[in-house]
Amino acid sequence: MIRNSFLSIMLSLIFVLSGCRTSRIDNKSKLDGIWTGYGYQFDIAESWEMILSCNTKKNEFTIDYPYLGCSGKWKLGKEKGTVFEFEEILEYGHDVCLDSVKVVIELLDNNTLNANFFWGGDIRPHAVGGLTRK
């Protein structure tokens, strides 16, 4: 009787833990694909186009701002549920865009992302954006 209860508890624990682990992987993989949208920067009162390409299997996240003439990569840092924190590393456009910006995106549903852009150690975003799956 005790052995069966122990076995039942262990199997339940394995099931629960594997379910938690799977959901995290599923949320990250939901980022895969090409996302397009616009951002808005408060201090200059301007909006700009964004194109985000995500390949989670290769851990590659590339960003392009065609209107601004900047592009680069996003390096994934923290992730919690449907919220992902990145560091933006510019490849070109350093004279127009800031490097090492913190970008926090939230997956709202399978086709919609919100983005918040932080720099200078501030806790309030300097820019916000929305992207939809292409």
Domain extent for 91:
31-133
**Residue 1 located in a structural domain:** no
What is residue 24's predicted lDDT score, i.e. its pLDDT? 45
Number of structural domains (the chain) is 1
CA-based radius of gyration for the chain: 19
* Residue 17 maps to a domain: no
Dihedral in degrees, nearest 10, Cα atoms 65, 71, 77, 79? 30
- The closest of 91, 100, 102 to 126, measured between CA atoms, is 102
**What's the pLDDT score for residue 21?**
43
pLDDT of 13-27, one tens digit each? Answer: 344 344 444 444 568
The pTM of the full predicted model, rounded to 2 decimals, is 0.79
What CATH number is associated with residue 97? 2.40.128.380
Number of Cβ within 10 Å of residue 77's Cβ equals 12
Rounded Cα distance between 46 and 133, Å, is 23
Indicate the helix (H) or strand (E) that contains 22: helix 2-29
- Domain membership of residue 60 (yes or no) is yes
- Residue range 78-112, pLDDT digits in tens: 999 999 999 999 999 999 999 999 999 999 999 99
pLDDT in tens, 40-82: 999 999 999 999 999 999 999 999 999 999 999 999 999 999 9
